[in-house]
Amino acid sequence: MFDFVYGHKKLIQAALFLIFIPFAFFWVGDYIREGGAGAAVAEVGQYTITQDEFERSLRERQQTIQRLAEGRVDPDTLDNPELRSATLENLIQRHLLFDWVIKRGMTVTDEQLKTVIGEQQLFRDEAGRFSYARYEQFLKSEGMTAAMFEARIRQDLVIRQLADGYAASGFVPRTVAERLVRLSEQQREVSFSVIAPDKFLGQVKLEADAARKYYDANPGDFRVPEQARVEYLALSIEALMQQVQVDAEMVKKQYEGSINRYGVGETRQAAHILLSVDAAAGAEAKQKARAAADEIYQQLGKKPDSFADLARTRSQDPGSAGRGGDLGTLQRGSMKDAPEFENALFKLKPGEISPPVETRHGFHIIRLTALQPAKVRGLEEVRGEIEKELRKQLAARRYAELAENFTNVVYEQSESLKPAADLLKAAPRTSGWITREQADAPLNNARLLAAIFSEDAVRNRRNTEAIEIAPGTLVAARVAEHKAATLRPFDDVRAELEKVLAMRAAARLAAEEGRRQLEQMKQDKGAAIAWSKLHLVGRAASEEVPEAVARHAFRIDVSKLPAYGGLESPRGAYFLLRITRVQDAGSVPAEKVKAYSDQLRAVLVQEEMAAYVASLRQRVGVSINKERVEKQEESAPPPSPGAPDRPAPRRRGGL
């Protein structure tokens, strides 16, 4: 089971993200019962969200975040008021919506449930068939029963029926979407002038004790952080892969046992001429486009070699028209958004041209330019791929064998890393100076750095525990040298600090001068200013115009031109801006209007759903015990006489 779970870890993470995120914080048994073990955290109508349910949901959300971050998030930072509050809010919303849909008889059939689970690539074997063995392995790896997993998906699907209803009713007027597109693609002709702070340095007079006052008031600016140098050992699957050997017989056996994996499907090189039609267009527009497509098809019947020239001049697909309509190489399933196109393409013979084919994009005239039949890659072609896969499997097994022993040896013989080094048959490595916030790989892990700078590791010079810094990588460290945090002496920073303070004062003078000139320009009293050359800028970044200047140019009122504005730079300079022309977008592509319309509709649907949940909340009634939402610090019982002053060894499952 370990080999399967490790080998498909990325796939499992993706599936968990896609499947669990919408409903990962709502457990099956909780909606059947009322109340239950644990005190009430919240009351949703007659339903009680218990402390047990809340804590379970919180743990699951934390684990999901850790999975997606591949262990790079400090666990301590995941137990914060914001996450706890968001978890409870999610539970409340889920209960409100689920109660609503159940009372109205909305259900998910067994066939629908079976289809959704069966479509998950995670549960398919090499031949693409649903594998119950993989399904069971996945459930075991996540500590769930089939009933729990299937009930979760059923819950999510039934709630999605409600969400889909809102999505279907969302409407954004085309004129609104077009207006947004035009605004987003508007360009403005901008010139600017920079008032640098350097020219005002001569006017700056600092107080004699200004630097000393700043130093005393801001000691944190001059603190040298705590530092350490460490010895460390790393156990990783990647390193173990270099140690395992794979012979030719193993490669041959793997190839023959899963030869279906090495098949390459039929590929077709295609070109097309597109006469685009908006999906919302009326019958007249479609008829006009079809007539134009028929005309082109008739021309091609007389002169097939003119396909590329006609594509360049007549096709309305900006991505392929310039290439003579060439779409590159396509396989079955690569045109899911236009199945009619794919069906027509795979009926053609090389060199053949199809009659106009209607899809949601418009009318296509398709030409098959080349065909590569399906084939199975030979053993020599895939030998390297198989060897790497086998090495990874063998290394994963070896890692599983070593991980628990490594974890325990590091802990139980904490006075030295040598026993653990002997186990791994590797010498400890030594780091440079590191801090709590900064270290090179593989030490740049928040949890590991916290362990390195703990009192046990610094004062008692004990090994840290073996910490999983990433999937398949354990690291244990031992402090070799330590430097406490110190404050840089005032005399060492005085000259540098005086320069900084002087530049800040000069920047304030530059800003005052800039605002004075800006006000004069707005009153048509401005003196001659050395403007830069004119730049036509859009909302996207420009190489010639600073990003902050381009962004600010679109905040200036352009009802009267020329228009002026001013901007303080974080580095102290002051920018004067002049806008002399506004250029609106010309024709708006239908695809872009549709994309904006879809985004707007999604926002509107979210707002409507939020408003509906709020109305349910008010109607049903929700009360929250805020004290129970806050983090509960549990005091551990005192150790028994003679007990060690460290916790019991962590086994592999606790990592």
| Banded model confidence at residue 19, pLDDT cuts 50, 70, 90 | very low
Q: For the residues 207-231, what does the mean pLDDT come to?
A: 93
Query: By CB neighbour count within 10 A (0-12 exposed, 13-18 middle, 19+ buried), where does 475 fall?
Result: buried
Taking alpha carbons only, the member of 324, 358, 368, 356 closest to residue 338 is 358
Coil, strand, or helix at residue 4? helix
The per-residue DSSP string of 473-487 comes to EEEEEEEEEEE--EE
- Does the pLDDT of residue 25 top 70, yes or no? no
Those residues whose C-beta lies under 8 Å from the C-beta of residue 105, and which sit 6 or more positions away, are none
Is residue 618 within 8 A of residue 73, CB to CB? The reply is: no
Is residue 363 within 8 A of residue 290, CB to CB? The reply is: yes
Structure tokens that stand for 202 in this block: 């001569």
**Chain centroid offset of residue 589 CA:** 29
Those residues whose C-beta lies under 8 Å from the C-beta of residue 427, and which sit 6 or more positions away, are 421
The region of weakest confidence among 76-80, 107-111, 115-119, 255-259 is 76-80
Structure tokens that stand for 475 in this block: 């690291």
Q: How many CA atoms lie less than 13 Å away from 520 in the CB half-sphere? A: 12
Is residue 324 within 8 A of residue 311, CB to CB? The reply is: yes
Is residue 75 within 8 A of residue 447, CB to CB? The reply is: yes
DSSP run (H or E) holding 96: helix 81-103
What is the C-alpha to C-alpha distance for residues 176 and 188, in angstroms, rounded to an integer? Answer: 21
The region of weakest confidence among 182-196, 284-298, 419-433, 628-642 is 628-642
Is residue 93 within 8 A of residue 156, CB to CB? The reply is: no
Q: Name residue 487's amino acid.
A: L
Q: Please tell me whether the overall predicted TM-score, pTM, comes out greater than 0.85 for this model.
A: no
- Does the pLDDT of residue 160 top 70, yes or no? yes
Taking alpha carbons only, the member of 295, 268, 264, 267 closest to residue 352 is 268
- Does the pLDDT of residue 645 top 70, yes or no? no
Bond prior to 442 in cis (omega within 30° of 0): yes
- Does the pLDDT of residue 247 top 80, yes or no? yes
Strand partners, 267: 331, 372
Give the position of tokens 């330019």: 369
What's the pLDDT tens digit per position in 45-78?
878 888 878 887 887 777 777 766 665 666 666 6
